[in-house]
Amino acid sequence: MWETWIIEIAKGIGELFLHPLFYVGFILTYILGSMRVKQERKLFHVRVEDSMIEMKEYIVPSLVWGLILSVITGLLGLAVPFDFIVIVGIFMLLISVSMQIRFLSPAYTVGLAFLVIYILYVTGFEGILNNSFFAFEQAIYPSIAVLIGLLIITEGVLIRKRGAIQVSPSVEKGKRGLYIGTQTTKRVWLVPVLLFIPNGMLNVSGDFWPVFSFGGTDWSPILVPFFIGFSLKVKSNLMGNVAGRLGNHVAILGIIVLALAVAGKWYPIASLAAAIVAILGREVIQFVYKNNENQSNAFFTSGKKGLMILGVLPESPAERMGLKAGERLTRVNGQQVYNSEQLYEALQINRAHCKLEVYDTNEQIRLVQNALYEGDHHELGILTVDSELKR
């Protein structure tokens, strides 16, 4: 029996590679990477991170969370109508084409799909959807609501764990007309989730599609690709600090939605409330963070405390010395520095070796030094608000 289950589930997993959205994600992340590199070259005349970073993030880390989520949905036997999968896919495709990455949150894509199906059901438009869906009546709604909650929790975890990895530095004009630094990230994570759909809703002939029988109904497992998008620009703090807090709040929203979804098993209206809370809650979180950013002072600015590091180029002297964004250089080869021009002049004192006094993000001063070699970046690979900026 177990051998049969394993074989049939393996067939369902294979369907992931036949889903068009699986490949749409590769195209989308390639475009995001290319746009980021183009912007970095425009500002700093150099590529900060490899253009494939977005594509690697799309496929590698999220698969782990997809596996965890699939184990949970498999144990729960989470069943959804096939029409729901189609509508979610349409939403994800349209948002991907529009490049509005933040709306790839499952709160929007899955939550709106839930509302569309609910509205079509209560208004009696049976002809639009597969008629077999309506045999479920309200019993199917808690399953979709549970899925929304689980995906939002996963979104929160991914934002917290992966949202601040290899962010892109940028420069823009602040409120007072002075240039300030920002950190930007745009990520799309692929989270494949194992779901069950009623047998016969796919109209697949033959023995190709796996079928299980339990609860008096035949079910087919299917691995569905879900996109989780994350887009954020911060100026008030380091991306890691902001993304950590944002991820926590999104995960808490997911827990609230999941609690409402569970209540939907006994009170169907709670499932509808879960979808509405997911959409409104995610929008409120985004609004609060954006409003806080607009009202906060800029973090990446030139000042009396030294030269602020906006970014560090990979495989550069700065990376070898462990310098990080958010730290300040106070002295270079014994000379005080406040801008990139002074940094360059101080480095000319000794072209073979440099000694730095660094004021780190914990407000502690440390001394670092490193040998310099021919071909090393002339400013140690440090990006600042005023370094090589076309104005």
Q: What is the pLDDT of residue 17?
A: 75
Burial class (CB in 10 A: 0-12, 13-18, 19+), 320: middle
Summary mean pLDDT of the chain: 84
| pLDDT tens column, 28-82 | 999 999 999 999 888 888 888 888 899 999 988 778 888 899 889 888 888 888 8
307-383 CATH pick, 1.20.120.1200, 1.10.10.10, 3.40.50.1820, 2.30.42.10: 2.30.42.10
**pLDDT band at residue 155 using 50, 70 and 90 as cut-offs:** very high
- Given a cut of 60, is residue 207 above it in pLDDT? no
Q: What is the pLDDT of residue 80?
A: 84
Q: What is the pLDDT of residue 103?
A: 96
Q: Dihedrals φ, ψ of 79, to 5°?
A: -110, 140
- Given a cut of 90, is residue 247 above it in pLDDT? yes
**pLDDT band at residue 351 using 50, 70 and 90 as cut-offs:** confident
Q: What is the pLDDT of residue 130?
A: 53
Q: What is the pLDDT of residue 152?
A: 98
Task: Pick 33 or 389 by higher pLDDT.
Answer: 33
Q: What is the pLDDT of residue 125?
A: 65
Q: What is the pLDDT of residue 175?
A: 76
What is the Cβ-side half-sphere exposure of residue 173, based on CA atoms within 13 angstroms?
5
- Given a cut of 60, is residue 2 above it in pLDDT? no
Q: What is the pLDDT of residue 5?
A: 57
78: left (phi over 0), alpha (psi -120 to 50) or beta: beta
Least confident residue range of 18-22, 118-122, 270-274:
118-122
Q: What is the pLDDT of residue 108?
A: 97
Which of the listed ranges 39-53, 216-230, 275-289 does the model predict with the highest average pLDDT?
275-289
Task: Pick 199 or 207 by higher pLDDT.
Answer: 199
Q: What is the pLDDT of residue 304?
A: 67
| pLDDT tens column, 74-112 | 888 888 888 888 899 999 999 999 999 999 999 999 999
CB–CB of 66/193 below 8 Å?
A: yes
Q: What is the pLDDT of residue 129?
A: 58
Q: Average of pLDDT values for 136-144?
A: 65
* Percent of the chain clearing pLDDT 90 (strictly above): 39
What is the Cβ-side half-sphere exposure of residue 257, based on CA atoms within 13 angstroms?
34
Domain with CATH 2.30.42.10 in the chain: 307-383
Q: How far apart are the first and last CA of the chain?
A: 69
Q: What is the pLDDT of residue 199?
A: 63
Least confident residue range of 166-170, 215-219, 296-300, 379-383:
215-219
Spell out the long-range contacts of 311-316 with Cβ–Cβ below 8 A and sequence spacing 24 or more: 311/48, 311/168, 311/169, 311/382, 311/383, 312/381, 312/382, 312/383, 313/46, 313/48, 313/377, 313/381, 313/382, 313/383, 314/48, 314/49, 314/50, 315/381, 316/376, 316/377, 316/380, 316/381, 316/382
Q: Is the pTM of this model over 0.85?
A: yes
